[in-house]
Amino acid sequence: MRTIANVDMARAWDGEEGERWTAQADRYEAAGRRHDGRLTGAGLVASGDAVLDVGCGTGRSTRDAARVAAPGPVLGVDLSSQMLEEARRRAAAEGLANVSFEQADVQVHPFADGAFDAAISSFGAMFFADPVAAFANIGRALRPGGRLAVLAWRDLGRNQWVTAIRDALALGRALPEPPADAPGPFGLAREDHVRAVLGAAGFGAVELEPVDEPVWLGDDADDAWGFVRTMGIVKGLTQDLEPADRERAFASVRAALAAAEGPGGVEFASSAWLVTAARPPS
């Protein structure tokens, strides 16, 4: 990785957060499988395209794009060296020869001008310290008329998979909410903010389509708890509790997971945007 502008996010994702996601890669990829299907099903990637996958993580969206774009090349980029190593392993195991991965800060990385036909991101584009600069850099990497497709979470209140865990962990505390329009999971939650950012970055034909798909957390409550207990939100909201209160919070989360069990396992409602846009033709 050459230059880093997004220092705070690089520290997290190329550190403890990236390690946690890598260790639970199977679970995170399974949790969002329906959402990724909407991304690759948007029709913006075609056979022979050169594709950039922004914030690719362990590479599920990169691999999905590679199957559609073949024989076109697909490059996945991320801040996390751990997640990229796992992405390379998974792509090799699937025999995908048109995939490569690179550690890069998309906000400042020197992509070749016009190198890609399409850029995609599955929940990886909400973390930019300067989103206008980042999307402008992505736009320069697209050929004239090149296409952009981004999945990003809508506002917190629409995402039960987060609010149910937060509520269970609260134990009567007033918990801080993620700030709007700031780097983080809900950094692209507001439609007017997304339109303003992409417009300032030089994109046109901006469209936002709601994607309301369940997030799958496990086969049953015990299975889901084994995954959920590793999440950053659980650590962050319990690390300052006394041991007895921490155990009460954990029991509360387990009860919430049990209440959400259904025929398909433990699932919670979620809401995201599928944002599409294009670099102007000239």
Burial class (CB in 10 A: 0-12, 13-18, 19+), 194: buried
Query: What does the block give as tokens for 185?
Result: 């999971």
| Predicted pLDDT at 9 | 84
| Predicted pLDDT at 40 | 82
Confidence of residue 3 (pLDDT cuts 50, 70, 90): confident
Confidence of residue 2 (pLDDT cuts 50, 70, 90): low
Mean pLDDT value across residues 77-95? 97
CATH number, domain of 182, equals 3.40.50.150
Any domain includes 228: no
Q: pLDDT tens-digit profile of 109-167?
A: 999 999 999 999 999 999 999 999 999 999 999 999 999 999 999 999 999 999 999 99
Any domain includes 169: no
pLDDT higher than 80, residue 274:
yes
Q: pLDDT tens-digit profile of 23-63?
A: 999 999 999 888 988 888 888 899 999 999 999 999 999 99
178 vs 79 pLDDT, higher one = 79
Sheet hosting strand 74-78, strand order edge to edge: 99-103, 74-78, 51-54, 116-122, 142-153, 272-278, 204-211
Predicted TM-score (pTM) of the model is: 0.94
> Could you give the CA distance from residue 152 to residue 162 in angstroms, rounded to a whole number?
14
Any domain includes 96: yes
Go through 90-126 and write b for each residue having 16 or more CB atoms within 10 A of its CB, e for each that does not. Answer: bbeeeebebbbbebbbbbebebeeeebbbbbbbbbbb
| Predicted pLDDT at 204 | 97
| Predicted pLDDT at 1 | 54
Element of type H or E holding 33: helix 33-40
Any domain includes 240: no
Q: Which amino acid appears at position 231 of this protein?
A: M
Listed residue (39, 9, 60) closest to 232, CA to CA: 9
Residue 35, CA distances (Å) to 28, 56, 102, 120, 122 in order: 12, 14, 24, 13, 8
pLDDT higher than 60, residue 211:
yes
Any domain includes 137: yes
| Phi, psi dihedral angles at 121 (to 5 degrees) | -155, 125
Any domain includes 165: no
Question: Per the structure, how many domains does the chain have?
Answer: 1
Range of the domain at 106: 7-156+178-216+269-278
The answer to whether the CB of 20 falls within 8 A of the CB of 230 is: yes
Q: Is the peptide bond before 71 cis (omega within 30 degrees of 0)?
A: yes
pLDDT higher than 60, residue 77:
yes
Burial class (CB in 10 A: 0-12, 13-18, 19+), 21: buried
Average model confidence (pLDDT) across the chain: 94
Q: Is the dihedral of CA 250, 252, 255, 257 positive or negative?
A: negative
